[in-house]
Amino acid sequence: MKIGIIICGRYKDCAGGKCFRAMQNREGAFSVYPKETPLEIAGYVSCGGCPGVNVEYAPAEMIKNGAEVIHLATGMVVGYPPCHRVGYFKRFIEEKYKIPVVVGTHPIPMKYHITHTNLNTWNTEKWQELIKPTLAHPDIMKAYD
């Protein structure tokens, strides 16, 4: 299974350590993939910064490299503030490129979960649906702090 990852432009210099660890360990949004299914990165890029200029073009390159699914990195939902375009990015990529999009990569770190819970950031059905793939057992979330 080949995967493309688009990260938030605020984290454009991120080396991807948490995302790649979660992929290897099948944690967070990668927990849906069977352990016996090899996972490979077909592309890793930032959204290009607000308003997400790379989202229009990067999926095409990832698909040329064999991507079968695109993940919008966890940083898009845990940043301060979270990306308010993440739901639109998901719909846009799925419509334009006909490829599944998963919101999230690694589990939400517990420190971010606590802060956003206290801020009521994710208190809507829309946000609950968006963060669902990145929720994990509290011990796993703490390991990503």
Inter-residue contact 59 to 22 (CB < 8 Å): no
pLDDT of residue 88: 97
In this predicted model, what pLDDT tens digit does every residue of 16-70 receive, in sequence order? 999 999 999 999 999 999 999 999 999 999 999 999 999 999 999 999 999 999 9
What residue type is assigned to position 111 of the chain?
A: K
| Domain of 34, in residue numbers | 2-143
Q: What would you report as the CA-atom Rg of the chain, rounded to the nearest whole angstrom?
A: 14
Q: Which residues contact 73 (CB under 8 A, 6 or more apart)?
A: 5, 6, 7, 8, 11, 19, 104, 105, 106
Cβ-Cβ contacts under 8 Å for 24 (sequence gap 6 or more): 39
- Specify whether the CB–CB gap between 99 and 70 falls below 8 A: yes
Question: Quick check: 7 and 47 in contact, CB under 8 A?
Answer: yes
Name the residue among 33, 16, 51, 53 with its Cα closest to residue 102.
Answer: 33
- Can you give the pLDDT at residue 44? 97
Provide the domain count of the chain. Answer: 1
Residue 91 confidence class, pLDDT cut points 50, 70, 90: very high
Chain segment 115-130, per-residue pLDDT in tens: 999 999 999 999 999 9
Q: What is the CATH number of the domain that holds 84?
A: 3.40.50
Segment 84-94 mean pLDDT: 97
Residues 6+ apart with CB under 8 A from 10: 49, 75, 79
Q: How far is CA 125 from the centre of its chain?
A: 18
Is the separation of the CB atoms in 76 and 108 below 8 Å? no
